[in-house]
A and B are shown apart, each in its own frame.
Chain A
Amino acid sequence: MVSRKGKTNGDAAAAAGAGTMERAVIDRDGLDALIAALQDDGYQVTGPAVRDGAIVPGRLATGADLPMGWTDSQSGGHYRLEQGDPDRMFDYVVGPQSWKASLYPAEQLLFTARRGEHGFTVDEPRIDAPRLAFFGVRPCDLAAIRTLDTVFEGGPFTDTRYQVRREGVFIVAVNCARSADTCFCASMGTGPKAAGGYDLALTEITAEGRTRFLIEAGSERARPILANLPQQPAGAKDVEAAETAVAKAAKAQTRAMVPEVEALLKRNLESPHWDQVGKRCLNCSNCTLVCPTCFCSTVEDRTSLDGHEAERRRRWDSCFTMDFSYVHGGSIRRESSSRYRQWMTHKLATWHDQFGMSGCVGCGRCIAWCPVGIDITEEARAIADSEGRK
């Protein structure tokens, strides 16, 4: 994994042993105090917010902005916010937006060029990224951030735009006490409990009819913040309640990725199943946009009307478009089946060769936001089944 000096040292803290880990129990006032403390430290706090009928990352001014009492219903091609237990704070899971948009904006300026007497000059824009605190990062999305770190900072080239935004992001994770129908993080080994890489982790527990939160520090810089929150010591019962809650969420998952999917897909690049799924796929690119790890981009060049100024912008792109693979003479992937195969085999198989990890974190967004309900776990299973039939 990439070394991340000066950033979240969750793994290091976890490695130091559970004995050094600080934990406590806080209630709603504690959450308010936590958000206030992060703001006092200069962080702009981004967390779950209800917008356009979905829960997406939004700016949190106070703890009162947190969406209390909501839950979600998700399945293939389906996402609805619903009223849940009015006392529960985190009973929904992931919505259409991930933290990707904060670290790697959907569109960003690469440079501005100005025409001068002798050609042109090129100016790199300064990135005025605020110090961000991500509040309520689910374990699958935490894994996705780790994945993007590897993509943009782990290779021979570093994306400085990503680096500037990522540097110093404070992460408050929330372990999942509930799974949606689309969740399959347990089979991807990314959740429903965060294994590290956070500064603080919350688990919602209900004890004696009261909703409270087990809070655990995962980094050195989180300790003073935790120490100053209104809190009670965490007892063995609280820790057990949190363990039970995430275990229940894991058990509730109805979807799972087939085992050894990397090898499975690599030996099935010419499976007839690709044609079958290619016929259902609309090539709309929704899955790539909601995916928290899809990182492909294109560039756009624009000029002012008088031609004195030009700019080059980078924006998210999708391997589902014809343009994506265009070389002189035509597109490489003309068939819908080829494009679906590219997306799925990249995510689940070749990503391992490129980055030493899976490109899928099991968040299930691609299932819920596919207009025709194509389910990546089902497609993988169908390919596995087709091998059995041979």
Chain B
Amino acid sequence: MDTSLAADPGPEIPPARWSGVDPMMPRPFTVKRVRKELADTFTLELEPADGGGPIRFQPGQFNMLYAYGVGEVPISISSDPDDPSVVAHTTRFVGSVTEALVHTRIGSLIGVRGPFGTHWPVEIAQGEDVAFIAGGIGLAPLRPAIYRVLSERQKYGNVVIFYGARTPEDLLFRKELQSWRSRFDINVHVTVDRATGRWNGRVGFVTQLIRGGGFDRHSSVAFICGPELMMRYSIQKLQEHGLGNDRIFISMERNMKCAVGFCGHCQLGSQFVCKDGPVYRFDNIEDYFSIWEL
């Protein structure tokens, strides 16, 4: 694959691939650990229970997690793609399935299908500056991409992380953010919409951080994940900053029942977000992005 962005508008994201077994059948995985991250957010660490190999995934891909008898939900993988011994998913418990998942005991089984979808193509940003822009739980699907970049830190230019959450209590992966922030080779900027308690950090939307820069105006690559509105305004700021739409990658969220393009629920115009996405180079879905209720 062409790894240079400077020469041409940039390579497309490679299509998702599948190994060939029936994609609708879940594999049993053992719950190794349930870590409470925030009041309403947890991380589930899983390992295969069927004697089969680990799930080899790329940053930004997702799995379908099945809670016995309750149902299935698409959840992004939040762990290190270069450590496939464990696969972790960070999610909020907001529905019946995630509610069941958060209450699973260590050692019990859940079903897993995946990995599905396109990935954050961090490799194309080698030699250039990288900006990660995350809103709320959107940091979870970006974390594997951050791990990947940091594991080959010398291959990239400046690395900036812009992270915004609603309140200080909603800041995900706080310890990790602090440890990244202590490094001399990354810039980590954090903001909250509303300050509570003893917060002495920045207050404001994540879009306001982008103005601060720290990445090249034209030859950077930005990876954005968060609520659609937050991504919309972040893109606007990046465009004002001078970044082309072919250098901006976002991850879309839609209803998904099958993850393989059969159920039709995830459609966004011509796109099946499950297999053509969830990660898109922005210029490829730009036209759809502004259309109401598409």
Does A115 sit at the interface, judged by CB under 8 A?
Answer: yes
Is the beta-carbon distance between B68 and A115 smaller than 8 angstroms?
yes
Query: Interface stretch among B194-202, B232-240, B249-257?
Result: B249-257
Is the beta-carbon distance between B255 and A157 smaller than 8 angstroms?
no
Considering the chains assembled together, what is the distance between the CA atoms of A298 and B49 in angstroms? 27
Known: A113-B68, A297-B257, A297-B263. A120 touches B269 (CB 8 A): no
Considering the chains assembled together, what is the distance between the CA atoms of A298 and B247 in angstroms? 35
Question: Which of A124, A151, A156, A160 has most B Cβ within 10 Å?
Answer: A156
Is the beta-carbon distance between B267 and A338 smaller than 8 angstroms?
no
Known: A156-B18, A295-B264. A120 touches B258 (CB 8 A): no
B residues 9-65 touching A (CB-CB < 8 Å): 15-18, 22-26, 28, 30, 49
Residues of B within 8 A of A334 (CB): 293
Query: Interface stretch among A91-99, A174-182, A228-236, A317-325?
Result: A317-325
Is the beta-carbon distance between B28 and A119 smaller than 8 angstroms?
yes
Known: A113-B68, A156-B18. A319 touches B260 (CB 8 A): no
Is the beta-carbon distance between A120 and B255 smaller than 8 angstroms?
no
Query: Please, which residue of chain A has its CB at the minimum distance from the CB of B73?
Result: A328
Is the beta-carbon distance between A307 and B264 smaller than 8 angstroms?
no
Q: Using an 8 Å CB-CB cutoff, how does the interface string of A327-351 with B read, 1 for contact, 0 for none?
A: 1100011110010011001100010
Does B72 sit at the interface, judged by CB under 8 A?
Answer: yes
Residues of A within 8 A of B28 (CB): 119-122
Is the beta-carbon distance between A299 and B71 smaller than 8 angstroms?
yes
Is the beta-carbon distance between B263 and A298 smaller than 8 angstroms?
yes
Does B3 sit at the interface, judged by CB under 8 A?
Answer: no
Is the beta-carbon distance between A301 and B70 smaller than 8 angstroms?
yes
Does B179 sit at the interface, judged by CB under 8 A?
Answer: no
Is the beta-carbon distance between A338 and B293 smaller than 8 angstroms?
yes
Known: A269-B291, A333-B293. A326 touches B255 (CB 8 A): yes
Residues of B within 8 A of A299 (CB): 71-72, 257-258, 263
Does B94 sit at the interface, judged by CB under 8 A?
Answer: yes
Is the beta-carbon distance between B69 and A297 smaller than 8 angstroms?
no
Is the beta-carbon distance between B264 and A297 smaller than 8 angstroms?
yes
Tally of B interface residues using CB under 8 Å: 46
Does B294 sit at the interface, judged by CB under 8 A?
Answer: yes
Known: A122-B26, A124-B25, A319-B264. A297 touches B258 (CB 8 A): yes
Does B204 sit at the interface, judged by CB under 8 A?
Answer: no
Considering the chains assembled together, what is the distance between the CA atoms of A335 and B41 in angstroms? 31
Residues of A within 8 A of B18 (CB): 156-157
Is the beta-carbon distance between A160 and B262 smaller than 8 angstroms?
no
Considering the chains assembled together, what is the distance between the CA atoms of A341 and B294 in angstroms? 8
Partner of B293, one of A156, A157, A312, A332: A332
Considering the chains assembled together, what is the distance between the CA atoms of A295 and B68 in angstroms? 26
Considering the chains assembled together, what is the distance between the CA atoms of A114 and B262 in angstroms? 26
Question: Which of B18, B258, B264, B292 has most A Cβ within 10 Å?
Answer: B264
Residues of B within 8 A of A111 (CB): 24-26
Q: Which secondary structure dominates chain A's binding surface? A: mixed
A114 to chain B, nearest CB (A): 10
Does B151 sit at the interface, judged by CB under 8 A?
Answer: no
Known: A118-B109, A119-B68, A152-B262. A328 touches B275 (CB 8 A): no
Does A20 sit at the interface, judged by CB under 8 A?
Answer: no
Partner of B254, one of A110, A327, A345: A327
B residues 264-294 touching A (CB-CB < 8 Å): 264-265, 267, 269-270, 272, 275, 291-294
B232 to chain A, nearest CB (A): 15
Considering the chains assembled together, what is the distance between the CA atoms of A328 and B23 in angstroms? 24
Does B127 sit at the interface, judged by CB under 8 A?
Answer: no
Is the beta-carbon distance between A324 and B262 smaller than 8 angstroms?
no
B283 to chain A, nearest CB (A): 16
Is the beta-carbon distance between B254 and A296 smaller than 8 angstroms?
no
Is the beta-carbon distance between B71 and A301 smaller than 8 angstroms?
yes
Considering the chains assembled together, what is the distance between the CA atoms of A160 and B107 in angstroms? 32
Q: Using an 8 Å CB-CB cutoff, how does the interface string of A89-113 with B read, 1 for contact, 0 for none?
A: 0000000000000000000001101
Does B261 sit at the interface, judged by CB under 8 A?
Answer: yes
Considering the chains assembled together, what is the distance between the CA atoms of A325 and B264 in angstroms? 10
Residues of B within 8 A of A160 (CB): 22
Considering the chains assembled together, what is the distance between the CA atoms of A118 and B108 in angstroms? 7
Residues of B within 8 A of A314 (CB): 24
Considering the chains assembled together, what is the distance between the CA atoms of A151 and B23 in angstroms? 15
Considering the chains assembled together, what is the distance between the CA atoms of A325 and B95 in angstroms? 15
Does B111 sit at the interface, judged by CB under 8 A?
Answer: yes
Residues of B within 8 A of A385 (CB): none
Partner of B109, one of A120, A156, A302, A335: A120
Is the beta-carbon distance between A328 and B94 smaller than 8 angstroms?
yes
Partner of A159, one of B262, B269, B294: B262
Considering the chains assembled together, what is the distance between the CA atoms of A301 and B70 in angstroms? 6
Does A354 sit at the interface, judged by CB under 8 A?
Answer: yes
Considering the chains assembled together, what is the distance between the CA atoms of A160 and B23 in angstroms? 9
Residues of B within 8 A of A113 (CB): 68-69, 111
The 8 closest A-B pairs by CB, nearest first: A119-B109, A296-B264, A353-B270, A310-B69, A338-B293, A303-B69, A350-B270, A157-B260
Chain B residues near A (Cβ < 8 Å): 15-18, 22-26, 28, 30, 49, 66, 68-72, 92, 94-95, 107-111, 253-255, 257-258, 260-265, 267, 269-270, 272, 275, 291-294
14 pairs of residues in contact across A and B, judged by CB atoms under 8 Å: A111-B26, A113-B69, A115-B68, A118-B107, A119-B28, A120-B68, A121-B28, A122-B28, A270-B291, A299-B257, A312-B66, A317-B263, A327-B254, A333-B293
Task: Contacts A111-B24, A122-B28, A155-B275 known; list 14 others, CB within 8 Å.
Answer: A118-B49, A119-B68, A120-B28, A121-B28, A157-B23, A157-B262, A296-B263, A298-B263, A302-B69, A317-B257, A317-B265, A324-B255, A327-B254, A345-B269
